[in-house]
Amino acid sequence: MFAISVAADMVSMQIQNLRVYERRGLVEPDRTPGGSRLYSPDDIDRLHRIRDLLADGLNLAGVARVLALEERVRVLEERLRRHERSSRSGGEG
């Protein structure tokens, strides 16, 4: 887990940008009992993705939509893999 300053350095972003992305629901870091943000390696990956999408010219609304669609694709692909495994093993899908 990484503090906000470390996370910002890791993804070459300003701390205030990370706060904005959290307010917009693009990233959800954990919190310490004292309220400090803690970013996981998955959060860092997501911030890299956000940075790349912004660099491609998307605005924050576009970034949010792309991230939601990518998550939906991930869920559907996992369902498909489970179904294919079940079909190969002779189970019901």
User: For residue 58, what pLDDT is reported?
Assistant: 98
DSSP assigned state of 10? H
93 vs 74, more confident? 74
- The residue type of 30 is D
Average pLDDT of every residue of the chain: 94
Question: Does the pLDDT of residue 93 top 60, yes or no?
Answer: no
pTM of the model: 0.83
**Partners of 39 in the β-ladder:** 2
- The residue type of 36 is S
Q: Is the dihedral of CA 65, 71, 72, 74 positive or negative?
A: positive
Report CA-CA distances (Å) from 22 to 6, 25, 28, 37, 80.
Answer: 16, 5, 6, 10, 31
